Structure 1
C-alpha cells in the first residue's frame, strides 16, 4: 500500500527520466515533426507505465483513491518532461543552437 504522495513523486521522477531520454535521443538533424513525435511517444510510454505502477501501488487504498491514483500527478509529469528535455537537449547541442 502506497500513499498518494509516493505516486505523485514517482510520476515526477518518471517525467524527469522521460525528459532526459528525449533530450538525448532527439538530434538537431531531425525535423520538428519527428522531434515532437519522439518526445510525445516517450512521454506516453512512460505515463502508461506509471499508470500501471500507480494502480499496483494503490491496491490497499479505498476504491475512490485508487481511481484518482491513476492520473494523480499528470501536470508535474508533463512539466518535468518538457523542462528536462529542453535542458538536456540544450546542454548537449548548444553548439548547433548558437549558430
Structure 2
C-alpha cells in the first residue's frame, strides 16, 4: 500500500520546483552576469527546497520514523528538474527577442 504522505510530498515538491523556476525566470534579466544569475537561481531554489522540507515534515507527522526521515528528501530529483525546466521556459519566453539578436 503506497504511503499517502510521501505521495503528497513528492507532488508538492514538483509544484514548488515549478514555482521556484518561474520566479527565477522572471528575476534574471538578460544583461545579468553569469555569477549573479547562477547565485539568484540557486538562492531561490534553496529557499523553496527548505520550505518544502518543512512542509514535507508536516505532511509526515504521525507517520513511522522511517517515513518521516524519507519525507525530508523524497522528490528532490523532480524538484531540481522542474525548477530548471520552468526557469529555462519562462526566461526564454520573456526574453526571446533579445536572445535571438
The aligned counterpart of 1:83 is 85
Deviations 1:15-60 (A, max 9, x none): 0000000000000010011000000000000000000011111001
The aligned counterpart of 1:14 is 16
Segments of 5+ residues of structure 1 without an aligned counterpart are none
Moved over 6 A (4+): none
The aligned counterpart of 2:74 is 72
In structure 1, how many angstroms separate the alpha carbons of the residues matched to 2:43 and 2:29? Answer: 15
Segments of 5+ residues of structure 2 without an aligned counterpart are none
The aligned counterpart of 2:34 is 32
TM-score, normalisation: structure 1: 0.97
The aligned counterpart of 1:97 is 99
The answer on 1:51 being equivalent to 2:57 is no
TM-score, normalisation: structure 2: 0.95
In structure 2, how many angstroms separate the alpha carbons of the residues matched to 1:3 and 1:51? Answer: 13
